Amino acid sequence: MNYDENLTTERPTFVTHLECAATGERHAADAVHNLSRAGKPLLVRYDLAGVKKALSKQALAERPPDLWRYRELLPVRRVKNIVSLGEAMTPLLALRKLGKKLGGGDILVKDEGRLPTGSFKARGLVMAVSMAKAFGIKHMAMPSNGNAGAALAAYASRAGIRSTVFCPEDTPEVNLSEIALQGARVYRVNGLIDDCGKIVAEGKAKVGWFDTSTLKEPYRIEGKKTMGLELAEQLGWSVPDVIFYPTGGGTGLIGMWKAFAELEAIGFIGPERPRMVAVQASGCAPMVRAYEAGAEHAPRWEDAYTIASGIRVPQAIGDFLILRAVREGGGFAIAVPDEAIAAALDEVAREEGLLLCPEGAATYAAYKQSLADGRVSRSECAVLFNCATGLKYPLPPMRQTLDRHQPIDFAALS
């Protein structure tokens, strides 16, 4: 049991309204929304003074170690609508050997690969699907590079909601199989994720699918926000100096930034903030280009390519929110080449026994690059996000065999 079923309808919830992230215009809570009237992402707002009175660090400490422990800061109003697969808190693992090797830096990996469906997309989709269930939504659709589609499929099937997922044609087989097995309809599309997004928008207009695309749905960000809540709690209600986040659509980065503001408003942390580092691949780095140009928006990146498929997002609707969070805290955006990502994956697996996903490996490569160019110092505590288990990705073949009928040269094996 991961949450208290007895806390049914009478438990207080604190959502007051939704707010356009660009104009601040209010939109009613408890109604189905996609983008704001201005065509921008909507952010959920809470009665934080009420939360402050209702929630203490002590009370929180006694709750089960899962995402629902933060229920006062989450949008789901009724326990009966929670569609859970066991969203356990994820560990913070120190990379001690590599920290030493690099000169003494404190490196912590938040290992999100432990979540249902093997990626942190579960945090966002458990919230989106629970809200969809509350609203009686019947059919959810989304474009996905793999992990989001898998999480949507799993939670939607569990909730009895139909789901349809469109993936770029070169999405790894394992992702497509997982999505299909978990009950969604899934299609390979000859295009990138934003091309898939256009099909979802058309289907929404023509047959009434609910568009579950990144940031076109207001609740995924609330689920992803729990990464920031969890991290601060795990660090004894403090924040690290710097967070390296593999940035695609940016839901997690924006969500964590929102989490820290809410934690300050309820008195759990002070005004201190981590520097947020948006990590992208050199073959798809629209945020890095915009950051370096001092721009507020990030135009589409043409011919996007990277082995880190989760961050192959040529254009993000929340670009201005990503760039704002990065700049407000004095962070930066950085691109790393695929070769560095592959080498980082290899190094961390070999030295620390932790098989990162390529996106997670990109954060380690970016950390090393930032240490080398002085943007991060060895005295700082850095948190790297590993957003999925490395086992969800195509792995290099291993063809060594041993013939048990021949003499074995144990000396060579010793």
Q: Which residues bind ligand PLP (CB under 6 A)?
A: 119, 121, 147-148, 214, 246-252, 310-311, 357, 359, 387-388
Contact 131, 386 (CB under 8 A): no
Taking CB atoms, the residue at the shortest distance from ligand PLP is 310
Q: Residue 385 CB, nearest distance to ligand PLP (Å)? A: 8
Q: Cα separations (Å) of 311 from 34, 254, 284?
A: 22, 15, 8
The strand pair at 26-28 and 381-386 is best described as unpaired
Contact 297, 290 (CB under 8 A): yes
Nearer to ligand PLP, 20 or 321 (CB): 321
Q: Residue 297 CB, nearest distance to ligand PLP (Å)? A: 16
Please name the residues in contact with 288: beta carbons below 8 A apart, sequence gap of 6 or more: 278, 280, 333, 334, 335
Q: Residue 330 CB, nearest distance to ligand PLP (Å)? A: 20
Nearer to ligand PLP, 55 or 366 (CB): 366
Nearer to ligand PLP, 204 or 312 (CB): 312
Q: Residue 262 CB, nearest distance to ligand PLP (Å)? A: 18
Distance CA 154, CA 178 (A): 9
- Burial letters for 120-148: b for 16+ Cβ neighbours within 10 Å, e otherwise? bbbbbbbbbbbbbbbeebebbbbbbbbbb
Q: Residue 215 CB, nearest distance to ligand PLP (Å)? A: 9
Q: Residue 42 CB, nearest distance to ligand PLP (Å)? A: 17
* Nearest residue to 126 via CA among 188, 76, 70: 76
Q: Residue 287 CB, nearest distance to ligand PLP (Å)? A: 9
Tokens describing residue 330: 């004095």
Nearer to ligand PLP, 159 or 316 (CB): 316
Nearer to ligand PLP, 105 or 252 (CB): 252
Nearer to ligand PLP, 171 or 247 (CB): 247
Tokens describing residue 76: 């789901």
Q: Which residue has the tokens 């939109």?
A: 27
* Nearest residue to 26 via CA among 18, 14, 16: 18
Nearer to ligand PLP, 134 or 341 (CB): 341
